[in-house]
Amino acid sequence: MKEIQQLLDITASLKKQFEGKLDFSLDGRLVGDIGEALVSEMFDIELYGKNAPVYDGIHRQSKIEVQIKASMGYYFSYPYNIDLEHYIAVHIEPNGTLEVIYNGPGKYINQFLKEGNRKFYRNISTTVTAVNLGILNNKLKKSEQLPQANLTNETL
């Protein structure tokens, strides 16, 4: 099928562009890699690369470390009992546009999870809905959010 070959060619090209940082493998990691790539450009984040233990990258201007989560659904994972310095969750629409669900310190998410006595999978992570993240995001001060980079009219 030519569409599958095109998909393989595109992922190979993306892998080369983000060499050593993202795999763009055709498995469950693909959505995450796409999200990290788009968010890194949207917010001017330098990605650490594959297998970074907690954070995916660092915001170039503020030097704030960031964990990025992307989904084509409306559920996002959050690590067990960690006040992440910064957490960005985005929903990827089928047409490739991003909806930023949460852009702020992880401490508010961790506090929300603790107050709700959420169960964590093997004390590793739990899921948070986009609705809950959106509510928390709306309570943030502008100064707690990372600014979007100045993008050209080029589509991400």
Question: By the 8 A CB rule, do 104 and 86 touch?
Answer: yes
pLDDT in tens, 24-39: 777 768 888 888 998 9
pLDDT in tens, 96-143: 788 999 999 999 999 999 887 776 666 778 889 999 999 999 999 999
Q: Which CATH class is domain 2-144?
A: alpha beta
Query: What phi and psi, each to the nearest 5 degrees, are found at residue 17?
Result: -65, -35
Domain map of the chain by residue range? 2-144
Q: Which DSSP state fits 94?
A: T
CA atoms within 13 A on the CB side of 124: 4
* pLDDT grade for 11, boundaries at 50, 70 and 90: confident
- Find the Cα–Cα–Cα–Cα dihedral 135, 153, 68, 49, rounded to 10°: -170
Please report, for residues 14, 70, 82, the alpha-carbon distance to residue 114 in angstroms, rounded to integers and kept in the order given: 38, 23, 11
In this prediction, residue 61 carries a pLDDT of 95
Give the burial string for 28-42 (b: 16+ CB within 10 Å, else e).
Answer: eebebbbbbbbbbeb
- Give the distance from CA 112 to its chain's centroid: 19
- Identify the pLDDT of residue 93: 85
